[in-house]
Structures are given as structure tokens and as C-alpha cells.
A and B are shown apart, each in its own frame.
Chain A
Amino acid sequence: MATQHSRAAARIMISPAVLLLLGWMIIPLSMTLYFSFLRYNLLIPGMEEWTGFTNYEFFLTDPAFFAALTNTLLLVGGVLLITIVGGVLLALLLDQPFWGQGIVRILVIAPFFVMPTVSALVWKNMFMNPVNGLFAYFAKFLGLQPFDFLAHAPLFSIILIVAWQWLPFATLILLTALQSLDSEQLEAAEMDGAGFLNRFVFIMVPHLARSITVVILIQTIFLLSVFAEILVTTNGGPGYASTNLTYLIYAQSLLQFDVGGGSAGGVVAIILANIVAVFLMRMIGKNLEA
């Protein structure tokens, strides 16, 4: 159906987007790669020299790297676990008939629209602050010692904040998927004597598999790059307790002005993200076909 002529037109229409994305990928990436082999500090300009793999050696043997890698995995894994388990349960609840469905939906989806700096600061100051925070008030009310969340459990606190932001997203997608489930199938299973657990495991979970995949994919893209929440709450501390890879590389590049070291870190982050991406793309490729 498509003629030679329309094919040529299509190619012209698509080329600005392709060229821009290609440039956006290749130019900065090759610069990062090049810088990563240089000794290059913004504070001592003009002293750049080729150092081979020294930057990588320093970056990869730095204990901070291992801490940041662990924290990144814990952060992504923790948030995914909370949002998916919580999202499935919440979606099952909201899928039941009840009064005020529309309003509850609006309440539940709201945190997704809150910008990261606002949610992090509100949680940090008004809830988790050990003196004036609301949690401290409840602890005192119950006769307990207020807990200093961000000082004693910084990563866990950040996981909670980020999970609060993403729970609505998971819930909304899973709820949409549940609502598209054929209710006759469920009723038939119920008549055949399948209890709720059986219906859940054998009908709902397989039906939800695809949407859970999508939730994992999209959240992972965003969660690997969590930055603002750490910047405004803990600055990665105490020590490296809440530093993820993104924050570590940012600190090395723009706080210590170590362009070489930061670039080596950037290359490592890109490689790690690509490993994750290969798995995810394969998953989405398979699932989107179905």
C-alpha cells in the first residue's frame, strides 16, 4: 500500500527525531568516555593529561563505590517491592464496589504529581524530624523515644519517601489492568468453587503479569536515577549511608570538580544501567507483543 513516494516522505518526517536522539546519545557519551581517561580537575585547568585506566581503578576500588552500588540496588529493590505488593493489594481493594470511588482514586493518585523536592522536604521536616515532626509527636504521645529517621535509618527513610511517590503509579496501572479482567471468568471460577486465594493466584496474577512487568520497567528507569530526594534530605550521608550511584557521581563531578573520576563513574553507571536495560527491554519486547 505504501508507495515509494510515501516511504521517502516518512523518512524525512522521522529524521529530525532520529538525528537529535542520535546526537544526544553520541556526543555527550563520547565526551564522558574521553574524559574518563584524563586527569582532569576543574579547579586546576590546563593540567589535563592522559592517565589510562587510573580513574577507573580509583573509582572501582573506592569503598564509596561499593556502598553506592549496594544502596542503589536496595533503593530500587525496596521501592519496587513496596509499590508492587502495596499496589496489588490496593488495586484489589479499590476494584471492589464502594461509595466514593472517584474521590478515593483522586486521593490515592495525588502523590504522583508532587515534585520530588517537595515530597522529600515535607517528609523530612514535617514528619520525620525528631523534634517537631509528626512521627516524633506520636512517639512521645505513646511514651516512646522519638526516632531520628534520617540520621539512623537514612536509606530506609528515603525508600519510604520514594515509595510514597510511586505507589500511586503502580496502583493506578494495576487497577486499570484488574478492571479489564473479564468478570465472567472470575464468576465462572467462583461457581466452580474456587476460593479467593485460588482466583487470585490462577486468574488475577497471570492477568496482571504484563502490567507488573510494565510497572517494573518504568519505575526502574526512574528509580536508578533518584537524585533530588537524596540531595535535599541527607546529602548522601551520614558517611555514604544514603549515597546512590547517581549521587556519588554527582558529588565527585560537581562538588569535587573531579571531571576524570566523575566521568569514569558515569561510564560505570551507563554500563550497569545497560545490563538492567537489556533484561527489561527483553521483557517489554516480549510482553508488548502479546
Chain B
Amino acid sequence: MAREVSNRRKALVTVCAWAIGIAIFFPILWTVLTSFKTEAEAIASPPSFLFFDWTLENYSTVQERSDYFRHFANSVIISFGSTLLGLLIAIPAAWSMAFVPGKRTKDVLMWMLSTKMLPPVGVLIPIYLLFRDSGLLDTRIGLVLVLTLINLPIIIWMLFTYFREIPGEILEAARMDGAELWEEIVYVLTPMAIPGIASTLLLNIILSWNEAFWTLNLTAVDAAPLTAFIASYSSPEGLFYAKLSAASTMAIAPILIIGWFSQKQLVRGLTFGAVK
């Protein structure tokens, strides 16, 4: 009897959860579906859900007209470049704070987090003018630099919370066993640090890929990543729903896939280890 009630309850929860899940996901699903329609079908009333003539035409049109692949390449270079550069600077910093904590380590960490609270618009003009005068406007290297700096505090925090969990005793044990410093780093520390570094890498690629203040303000044509590519559809091309959908699908698909793979690390990464 009790079992039956709990099964009925489970069925009810299943229905509710799926309904809400699909409702939340619906805009993305609808965008993907619309990208395979013709423009006429995209605004047809009543809207057709699955029974339309599927076409790939929009994808080739978007590529031909606005060169998707160049923007895609820009997004890849900017997000991977800034994340790797950030890791290069952050790993030693997080490392030393986690393993050789001083009296002021906590203050330094809080200070780093506080730089993240600086509203970007507060430094928009100086950065814009500095970029204009040094020829960095609309260049990929310029955006890599800015995104590295704005994500650096987050990268350091994430790494710090991962490194902090590596027990220091294990190093002493290795040393007792006669390991050299480089052996310690290569055989003991690196394998333990890699999962943390990997999830920090993934999360920061997601954040940089979707960053839409600096990428919109500091690029025009040459260095424009996908965020800016889509913004160019705001009008009047935005009224061509099928093409807008195809462009949108191509802009979000790569990161959606990375995101789904990294969802487990997402929580602890973005909450700086406060929620696990």
C-alpha cells in the first residue's frame, strides 16, 4: 500500500519536473527547430512544431553572408587564449596561497575578489582610449588581455579552493621517501591538481565565451566573436527568424555541450567552493 502511494507520488513529481524542465528549455528547443524551417514556416500561424520541410539552407546562408567561421574562430581564440593566460598567472599564485599561507593570504584573496566587483563600465573610457591609442581596438590580442584580467580573480579563487584540499602531509611523505622537488611536483602534486585545473579551465572558457560587455564594446569587425556576431542580427535581420535561429544555434551549441559536461564542477567552481 505504502509502496503504491510513493509510486503515485513519484509519478506526479516526474510529470511536474519534466513539464517545468521542458518549459525552461523550450526557448532553446524552439530556436533549434526554427533554424531548420524556411522563413515562411518560421512565422507561420499556427506555428508548426515538427511537421515542416526540414532544411539546412539557413545555415549555409548565415555562413555565406556573415562568415560564421571567422567569428567562431575569434571566440575560440579569445576564450581559450584568455583562460590559458589566466591559468598561467593564477596557478603559481593560488598554489603559493594554498600551500604557504601567510597572515595576509585571506586579505589578499578578499581583495582579489573585490576587484571583480569593480563595474566594468567604470573603466570603459580609459580602456577604450588606451586601446585606441595603442592600436588594440578590434584586435584579438586586446580582448584576450582584458578577459584575462577580468577573470583572473575568479580563476585564482577556484584554483585556491581546489588546491587547498590537497593535503600538505602527502608532500612531506614524498620528501621523507627521498623525492626531489621536481619529482614531488611531477608525480605527486600535478596528478592531484589536474582535476581542479581542468574544471577551472572549462568554467572560464564558458564565462569568456559568453562575455558580452567588453567583446561588444572593443570589437567592430576583425576581432568580433560570436557575441558580437549575434548582436549584428538585432535589426533588421532579426526579423528573419529562421536565419536568426540558425546563427543562434551555431553560437550556443559548442558551449552548451561543454557546459553539460562540466555541470558537476559548475556549482563548486562558481561559488568559490562555498557550496559543494
Contact = CB atoms under 8 A, between A and B. Distances in A.
A123 interface: yes
Interface stretch (A58-66, A101-109, A185-193): A101-109
Interface residues of B, number: 93
Interface stretch (A74-82, A198-206, A226-234): A226-234
B217 A115 contact: no
Contact of A17 (B17, B43, B90, B209): B90
B143 to A, nearest CB: 15
Contacts of B89: 16-17, 20
B173 interface: no
Interface string B7-43: 0011001101110111011011011001000000001
Contact of A277 (B97, B114, B212): B114
A180 B123 contact: no
Contacts of A111: 24-25, 27-28
A270 B118 contact: yes
A13 B96 contact: yes
B121 A122 contact: no
A88 interface: no
B259 A16 contact: no
Contacts of A108: 20-21, 24-25
A269 B119 contact: yes
B244 A125 contact: yes
Nearest to A114: B252
Interface stretch (B50-58, B62-70, B182-190, B230-238): B230-238
A132 B43 contact: yes
Nearest to A42: B129
A134 interface: yes
Interface in B51-85: none
Interface in A238-290: 245-246, 249-250, 253-254, 259, 262-263, 265-267, 269-270, 273-274, 276-277, 280-281, 284-285, 287-288
A272 to B, nearest CB: 8
A156 interface: no
B252 A228 contact: no
Interface string A77-102: 00000000000001001101111110
A266 B271 contact: no
A157 interface: no
Q: Identify the interface centre among B100, B233, B239: most chain A CB within 10 Å of its CB.
A: B100
A232 B213 CA distance: 12
B120 A214 contact: no
B30 to A, nearest CB: 7
A225 B213 contact: yes
Contacts of A253: 124-125, 128
Nearest to B25: A107
B274 A110 contact: no
A14 B119 contact: no
Query: How would you classify the secondary structure of chain A's contact residues: helix, strand, loop or mixed?
Result: helix
A121 B238 contact: yes
A113 B18 contact: no
B96 A97 contact: no
B21 A31 contact: no
A24 interface: yes
A149 interface: no
A: interface residue count bin: 35 or more
A82 B234 CA distance: 26
Interface in A1-35: 1-2, 6-7, 9-11, 13-14, 16-18, 20-21, 24-25, 27-29, 31-32, 35
Given A117-B230, A118-B230, A21 B149 contact: yes
A93 B260 contact: no
A147 interface: no
A172 interface: yes
B116 interface: yes
B235 to A, nearest CB: 9
A227 B118 contact: no
Contact of A249 (B93, B121, B234): B121
B267 to A, nearest CB: 5
8 contacts: A7-B100, A111-B28, A113-B255, A115-B226, A118-B31, A168-B24, A214-B274, A249-B124
Given A94-B17, A108-B21, A121-B231, 5 more contacts: A14-B92, A29-B123, A107-B25, A125-B241, A176-B275
- Top 7 A-B residue pairs of the complex, sorted by shortest distance between their CB atoms: A10-B96, A228-B212, A113-B259, A13-B92, A28-B123, A31-B126, A28-B126
